[in-house]
């Protein structure tokens, strides 16, 4: 009798756990998808090796994120770990973060993706720690910090950024890249170094 009661209790707990996983997965999808006038305006696809849901926060490991962003094109992000705060619309990525779009490739230690709560579009991406960015397969920048603003069509790098293109290196306080044109603006140029080819 006790074994049977334990078995039934175990089955109830297992069923409830499956229900919670499905409910939380649907909750995440609802938060990531916005339908306006019968059209999907934005969708973030999240794949992870493992995910845990607790109080409107999803914790995941070995994360692959993909979504569309204005002015940058389709974006794919990989990270060792992530948290997604569904109430605040913030996805935090940690460890071995790799960011790839049609125009940009970046590697960094950690990043935050800020989503607009209504449209689910990306408002801003903040990144830090050993930032490396390759832009248009011709320009490379190393810095401590990066901010990407898809709507403003800008990438801003700070924290001793160094831009390398061809055999020229430019060190500045801040480097701004205009995504659509590829133009680069420098603030507080500290040095321009010409390397031997």
Per domain, the residue ranges of the chain are 2-194
Least trusted range by pLDDT, from 42-56, 125-139, 150-164: 42-56
> Does residue 36 carry a pLDDT above 50?
no
Q: Give the residue-averaged pLDDT of 65-90.
A: 79
Instruction: Indicate the pTM of the whole model.
Output: 0.71
Nearest to 167 by CA among 191, 192, 135, 142: 192
How many Cβ atoms are within 10 Å of 1's Cβ, its own excluded? 5
CA distances from 129 to 94, 96, 161, 166 (A): 10, 10, 12, 25
| Cα distance between residue 82 and residue 90, in whole Å | 10
Highest mean pLDDT of the ranges 58-62, 89-93, 101-105, 108-112: 108-112
CATH class of the 2-194 domain in this structure:
mainly beta
More confident residue, 1 or 163: 163
Nearest to 175 by CA among 164, 193, 161, 191: 161
């Amino acid at each position: 009798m006790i074994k049977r009661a334990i078995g039934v209790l175990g089955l109830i707990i297992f069923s409830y756990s499956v229900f919670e996983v499905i409910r939380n997965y649907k909750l995440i999808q609802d938060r990531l998808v916005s339908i306006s006038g019968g059209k999907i305006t934005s969708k973030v696809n999240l794949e992870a090796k493992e995910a845990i849901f607790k109080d409107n926060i999803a914790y995941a490991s070995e994360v692959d994120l993909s979504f569309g962003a204005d002015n940058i094109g389709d974006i794919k992000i990989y990270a060792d770990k992530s948290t997604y705060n569904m109430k605040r619309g913030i996805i935090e990525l940690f460890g071995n973060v790799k960011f790839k779009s049609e125009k940009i490739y970046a590697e960094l230690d950690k990043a935050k993706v800020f989503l607009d709560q209504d449209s689910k579009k990306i408002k801003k991406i903040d990144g830090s720690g050993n930032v490396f960015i390759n832009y248009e397969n011709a320009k490379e920048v190393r810095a401590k910090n990066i901010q990407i603003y898809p709507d403003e069509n800008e990438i801003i790098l700070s924290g001793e950024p160094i831009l390398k293109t061809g055999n020229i290196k430019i060190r500045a306080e801040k480097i701004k890249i205009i995504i659509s044109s590829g133009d680069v603006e420098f603030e507080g140029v500290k040095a321009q170094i010409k390397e031997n080819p």
